[in-house]
A and B are shown apart, each in its own frame.
Chain A
């Protein structure tokens, strides 16, 4: 078969998706995966950032840690560098691998439990020391918590854990505040009781002394004495009523469980699985919120003794839910809505966008399971579903909220952003792609999730409305690899037919990601090596071609089969169209992040043109001038900008020396001058001396004040009254101070 015939077959496939001739094999006959994923076959054998440990309460550094990190910490602590620590390292790393394998096989539990189970498996009957080493290493584990893998349940568990972590911190602060208020209010009531008639009765006094010494006192006599001598100030009835009311409301609150005192009263549940239920609960609890905020405010005022009935009574009477500020709401737990898989479009979640835009403190976790749904109008094109996959982008348009989009493989690396979102005031949306469903791909979910992110099909981004004044600070694409480029590219090495090493750079495109999903098999065709033609071109390069040229080329992606053999896989036009569309959406996100910002580029081009024109003009002028007369050094010197004027330090504005004055700013407030004449010298607002009335005293007093001043800042000037006795001597003495 000649070259033209080969190309013809391939072109037909590319344009129609139909395989004709023998040269093109379907991909579903032999499962293929993108070449860049060739190295990741068995994730359980690879040390990577999953599985995760959801750290138990009380962890100081975050809410999640990777198992690798914890094991590293154990090794750093226990195993010395070099050969000495080698044995321990080997055993512990074996154990880590065993734990990964157990988790992948479905065993569940905390790190310590799995550690113990794995250690028991690895224990060697012949060598007891292995068990000992592993047990010792287990004791060094820095933290404990549930171990979770990157499976379909991960997004919901991870998010719920982050939410609990943030709520616990909030609860701690909340209780610190309301416990202090309760304590102070109780103190007021207790003091009032001690001052009251009832508090001064012998029985009350007896009850306040410890049992051992109760017989040593005569409480009747004590009571008589106390009644006579203590002040008779009683707590006014309205104030007592307010304090008791505030105390009862604070005690009865059901929003945050106390971290210190175990209580039997149940607290409200804030974790829901649909939006409607969360909104209903919010509405139902709003009156309680209003009452509690009001009680806290009244309690705060009462503890400062700052409650003014004339001003505050009317204010609190009209206090209702409209008076609540965002800061008040921030004290209360946020509502978490984890929408179960497949219920995104369910009627109970229809109000999602409404809820998000209303500013309710609700954190919604939406799990995306399928990025290859068809568009609702049934054109056979992928929808990049507005319904689900682009939810976060749509929510970003609502403005005042937090939106985070990530695939589950990135969640761990984005944990600080997740924590930030859970802690933000107001609504937040977390849209997470948990990897392709099991029926669609043979690859582990971690890989398909990562592939979705890498291929820009589901880019990771964060939009935080409260993050700053402008888009640049609010929006971030930082968690994507090479966010400036169209596709991330990696070096790829393989052996060719003659077993020589070939190295090339391979981009990871949307088509590569689509290849992971067996439902897309129809869009791909494998070309045997002997049928490779010069017209074939990597998909990423093909996309960059002008339309006319691309018609003469056929795009392919590199893939490997189960035997690790490299193939070129042709991509049909429909898939390439989807790839192009994916790129378009990615460009849009890039612009949000200021990458290839069209406005900025246009402005830059305009400025550059203007600058070049200006430079040309200047150049032209110089050329003309030099043609007219050769430049002389003198002329050059004239043209030079005048030397910067030496800014002479402004002399301190001193009053004329004839007038008496004081350097007030230097006065150390020592009272000396005022003792001489308090009418003449006075203190200003900062308690520093100045001459208040020069006519209120004599020149002699001025001179004496100057002499006694510790820091010599009084300047007596010249005498005003020429008839004052002894002026000559006084003026001589004054000279030293003028």
Chain B
């Protein structure tokens, strides 16, 4: 509902933030880490949308990427391994008015947190989720993660990993109530910003997988894609990405894809080379759990008392009442 009068007054005194207002200290990530690019894009989004820092929350699990909330000067919750989603959902349930972001890594989300991930998609609560996917456990110095490619030599797979990598996009697109799925790469900042912005404006569970470089442990992994723009497939559409002419000149490999077409989205999501970049699926009609359950209901002292009494009454035996029920 509109709050016209107060909105007008607030507009009069609205604070405008610049990028520095969202910077919470110097990141401790390695030099050249792709997380820096994601951080810059998100801080830019916060500035451009003029998000009130006190009404914005970043929730993360454990891992390199999960240090994200430390570097945002907003509210943050550096959670426990794999449990970023339940925490973020709790925040959203209690305070639907907050802007909730989730930063999670490929290990955090797709391994230990996989169950929460699947159900968070199904609940479709309004939050922006960024999966920082560098294909490796970096914080613990190089172990294979669920998205590591076959053959990756790491501390846990010294002879090369033997399992096919899990594809977070196809998994997400396979869950009921999925409403927004996109993919970005950290080395094309303009598109990453556009995608993060699209995700933020979607009302529902916006899932972005960002493929990111780990210069420390997998320094050469994305070299071919970095140096050959033809190996990146831009998904364009009036309702999706519309790259600038300059960028379009460099990245000529483009395809029009309607984000409402889930079958096509699943097909595109399965390709690994070229890497598809853009909005794969976007359906604004999927209902949000917090709307279905009326989150953020009144919690005045009176309301709590009345609610509790109503609950207790259910377990109280009233012979007259029962008699009446029967008569009815």
| Residues of the B chain whose Cβ atoms lie less than 8 Å from the Cβ of A708 | 32
Selected A-B contacts with CB under 8 Å, 12 pairs: A180-B296, A180-B298, A260-B298, A296-B5, A298-B6, A315-B9, A325-B8, A330-B2, A669-B37, A670-B31, A687-B19, A687-B40
Render B21-37 as a binary contact track against A, CB cut-off 8 A, 1 for contact: 00000000001111011
Tell me the complex Cα distance, A177–B298, Å.
9
Q: Assess A311 versus B36: contact at CB under 8 Å? Given A182-B298, A328-B5.
A: no
Whether B4 lies near A328 (C-beta < 8 A) is yes
Interface residues of A in 261-308 (CB under 8 A from B): 261, 293-294, 296-298, 300-301, 304, 306, 308
Which residue of B is nearest A305, CB measured?
B54
Interface of B is mostly: helix
Tell me the complex Cα distance, A466–B297, Å.
33
Interface residues of A in 665-707 (CB under 8 A from B): 665-672, 675, 685-688
Whether B1 lies near A174 (C-beta < 8 A) is yes
| Residues of the A chain whose Cβ atoms lie less than 8 Å from the Cβ of B44 | 686-687
Whether A668 lies near B37 (C-beta < 8 A) is yes
Which residue of B is nearest A327, CB measured?
B4
CB distance from A289 to the nearest CB of B (A): 12
Residue A73 is within 8 A (CB to CB) of chain B in the complex: no
| Residues of the B chain whose Cβ atoms lie less than 8 Å from the Cβ of A350 | none
Residue B150 is within 8 A (CB to CB) of chain A in the complex: no
Whether A667 lies near B302 (C-beta < 8 A) is no
Total A residues in contact with B, Cβ cutoff 8 Å: 51
Tell me the complex Cα distance, A574–B12, Å.
67
Whether A183 lies near B298 (C-beta < 8 A) is yes
Residue B164 is within 8 A (CB to CB) of chain A in the complex: no
Tell me the complex Cα distance, A708–B299, Å.
56
Whether A649 lies near B249 (C-beta < 8 A) is yes
The one of B5, B39, B187, B213 in contact with A293, judged by C-beta atoms closer than 8 angstroms, is: B5
CB distance from B231 to the nearest CB of A (A): 14
Interface residues of B in 225-270 (CB under 8 A from A): 226-227, 246-247, 249
Interface residues of B in 159-178 (CB under 8 A from A): none
Which residue of B is nearest A262, CB measured?
B306
Q: Assess A296 versus B3: contact at CB under 8 Å? Given A179-B300, A301-B10, A306-B10.
A: yes
Residue A176 is within 8 A (CB to CB) of chain B in the complex: yes
Whether B1 lies near A177 (C-beta < 8 A) is yes
| Residues of the B chain whose Cβ atoms lie less than 8 Å from the Cβ of A665 | 189-190, 246-247
Residue B76 is within 8 A (CB to CB) of chain A in the complex: no
Q: Assess A670 versus B6: contact at CB under 8 Å? Given A261-B303, A687-B19, A688-B40.
A: no
CB distance from A671 to the nearest CB of B (A): 6
CB distance from B30 to the nearest CB of A (A): 9
Interface residues of B in 287-312 (CB under 8 A from A): 296-303, 306
| Residues of the A chain whose Cβ atoms lie less than 8 Å from the Cβ of B80 | none
Q: Assess A670 versus B303: contact at CB under 8 Å? Given A293-B5, A301-B6.
A: no
**Other A-B pairs, 13, CB within 8 Å; known A331-B2, A666-B189:** A261-B302, A297-B3, A297-B6, A315-B9, A323-B5, A665-B246, A668-B34, A668-B186, A670-B37, A675-B31, A686-B44, A708-B32, A711-B187
CB distance from B50 to the nearest CB of A (A): 14
| Residues of the A chain whose Cβ atoms lie less than 8 Å from the Cβ of B299 | 183, 186-187
Tell me the complex Cα distance, A122–B299, Å.
52
The one of B3, B36, B43 in contact with A668, judged by C-beta atoms closer than 8 angstroms, is: B36
CB distance from B244 to the nearest CB of A (A): 8
Whether B5 lies near A173 (C-beta < 8 A) is no
Q: Assess A297 versus B9: contact at CB under 8 Å? Given A179-B303, A182-B298.
A: yes
| Residues of the A chain whose Cβ atoms lie less than 8 Å from the Cβ of B300 | 179, 182-183, 186
Which residue of B is nearest A713, CB measured?
B187
Interface of A is mostly: helix
Render B55-95 as a binary contact track against A, CB cut-off 8 A, 1 for contact: 00000000000000000000000000000000000000000
Which residue of B is nearest A687, CB measured?
B40
The one of B4, B31, B34, B189 in contact with A672, judged by C-beta atoms closer than 8 angstroms, is: B31
Q: Assess A710 versus B6: contact at CB under 8 Å? Given A180-B298, A183-B298, A649-B249.
A: no
The one of A294, A300, A686 in contact with B40, judged by C-beta atoms closer than 8 angstroms, is: A686
| Residues of the B chain whose Cβ atoms lie less than 8 Å from the Cβ of A301 | 6, 9-10
Chain B contacts to A: CB under 8 angstroms: 1-6, 8-10, 12-13, 18-19, 31-34, 36-37, 39-40, 43-44, 186-190, 213, 215, 226-227, 246-247, 249, 296-303, 306
| Residues of the A chain whose Cβ atoms lie less than 8 Å from the Cβ of B187 | 666, 668, 710-711
| Residues of the B chain whose Cβ atoms lie less than 8 Å from the Cβ of A325 | 4-5, 8
CB distance from B11 to the nearest CB of A (A): 11
Residue A216 is within 8 A (CB to CB) of chain B in the complex: no
Tell me the complex Cα distance, A176–B296, Å.
9
Q: Which of B186, B189, B215, B299: most chain A CB closer than 10 A?
A: B189
Render A201-219 as a binary contact track against B, CB cut-off 8 A, 1 for contact: 0000000000000000000
Which residue of B is nearest A316, CB measured?
B9
Chain A contacts to B: CB under 8 angstroms: 173-177, 179-180, 182-183, 186-187, 260-261, 293-294, 296-298, 300-301, 304, 306, 308, 311-312, 315, 323, 325, 327-328, 330-331, 649, 652, 665-672, 675, 685-688, 708, 710-712
The one of A179, A296, A300, A688 in contact with B297, judged by C-beta atoms closer than 8 angstroms, is: A179
| Residues of the A chain whose Cβ atoms lie less than 8 Å from the Cβ of B9 | 297, 301, 312, 315
Whether A669 lies near B189 (C-beta < 8 A) is yes
Whether B226 lies near A711 (C-beta < 8 A) is yes
Which residue of A is nearest B10, CB measured?
A306
| Residues of the B chain whose Cβ atoms lie less than 8 Å from the Cβ of A180 | 296, 298
CB distance from A316 to the nearest CB of B (A): 9
Whether A306 lies near B37 (C-beta < 8 A) is no
Tell me the complex Cα distance, A261–B18, Å.
44
Whether A669 lies near B3 (C-beta < 8 A) is no
| Residues of the A chain whose Cβ atoms lie less than 8 Å from the Cβ of B5 | 293-294, 296-297, 323, 325, 327-328
Whether B34 lies near A670 (C-beta < 8 A) is yes
| Residues of the B chain whose Cβ atoms lie less than 8 Å from the Cβ of A710 | 32, 187, 213, 215, 226
Whether B32 lies near A652 (C-beta < 8 A) is no
| Residues of the B chain whose Cβ atoms lie less than 8 Å from the Cβ of A296 | 3, 5-6
Which residue of B is nearest A175, CB measured?
B298
Tell me the complex Cα distance, A476–B39, Å.
53
Whether B19 lies near A686 (C-beta < 8 A) is yes
The one of A293, A670, A687 in contact with B33, judged by C-beta atoms closer than 8 angstroms, is: A670
| Residues of the B chain whose Cβ atoms lie less than 8 Å from the Cβ of A177 | 1, 3
Tell me the complex Cα distance, A260–B9, Å.
30
Which residue of B is nearest A263, CB measured?
B302
Return the 8 tightest CB-CB contacts between A and B, nearest first: A327-B4, A668-B37, A179-B298, A669-B40, A300-B6, A297-B6, A687-B40, A297-B5
Q: Which of A177, A260, A708: most chain B CB closer than 10 A?
A: A260
Tell me the complex Cα distance, A649–B10, Å.
47
| Residues of the A chain whose Cβ atoms lie less than 8 Å from the Cβ of B249 | 649, 652
Tell me the complex Cα distance, A91–B4, Å.
56
Tell me the complex Cα distance, A112–B12, Å.
55
